[in-house]
Amino acid sequence: MNRPSSFTSKLDQITARAMHDQIRANQYSNYELGVFYRSLLTAEVWTTQRDLAAALGVSAPAMSRLLSLARISPEIVSALDGTGALTYRTGQLILDAIERLGEKVIVTRIRDAKEAGYWEIDDLLEYVVADRLPEADLTPVRVRIGRDKQSLRVEMGDLSRFAGSFAKLESWLSSALTLFEATLIAERRSAAHDARTARIPPSRTRRRD
């Protein structure tokens, strides 16, 4: 079954109920449910929000919230990388921001935030809605040397926050390890030099003095 968007022909209520059951069974997102309900009203399968809610077994408050989510444009949904991010809370914050700033500004800010390296939904909301940079929240990093002494295991959480910068991350890690090895070599050479200097006897010229 395709994701619901709008209907091109008149549906009867029996078919709409069957579609609704299938949508719920497939666990569509709240946004997709809202779009489906809005399409039913637009197609006049049911003529009022109250009748629609009663017929499909949805509470009136839930129906209202879901229909509100459906007001968010596909362009914004696409900028957020899909419907999964649109919870009731997220949707309401975005709707409030749209009312204040307009859709074009919201889409632009979402894209700007991603270009700046912010991909988590809470970071995007802070950048988009509050127009401020999120506080840095560094993820703990754990590095373990493999038993074969030829590999490293790096644990640093969900790497999606580095999306768009994977090549840069790989290059940085390679450079950091190369620099670390060069530092060790320099320290060993310095220690060897100091040890050798300590073994050299005082010069004869000094004994003459």
Q: Could you read off the pLDDT of 26-74 as tens digits, one per residue?
A: 989 999 999 999 999 999 999 999 999 999 999 999 999 999 999 999 9
Q: Please tell me the predicted confidence (pLDDT) of residue 96.
A: 92
Q: Please tell me the predicted confidence (pLDDT) of residue 137.
A: 62
| Residues facing 155 on adjacent strands | 142
Residue of higher predicted confidence among 102 and 115:
102
Closest CA to 51 of 3, 24, 13, 22: 13
Measured distance CA(143)–CA(154) in Å, rounded = 5
Lowest mean pLDDT among 67-81, 131-145, 169-183: 131-145
The answer, yes or no, to whether residue 3 has pLDDT greater than 70, is: no
Q: Please tell me the predicted confidence (pLDDT) of residue 34.
A: 94
pTM of the model: 0.59
Measured distance CA(158)–CA(139) in Å, rounded = 9
Domains of the chain, with CATH numbers? 13-129 (1.10.10.2830), 142-208 (no CATH)
Residues 6 or more apart whose Cβ sits within 8 Å of residue 64: 49
The answer, yes or no, to whether residue 1 has pLDDT greater than 50, is: no
Q: Please tell me the predicted confidence (pLDDT) of residue 8.
A: 38
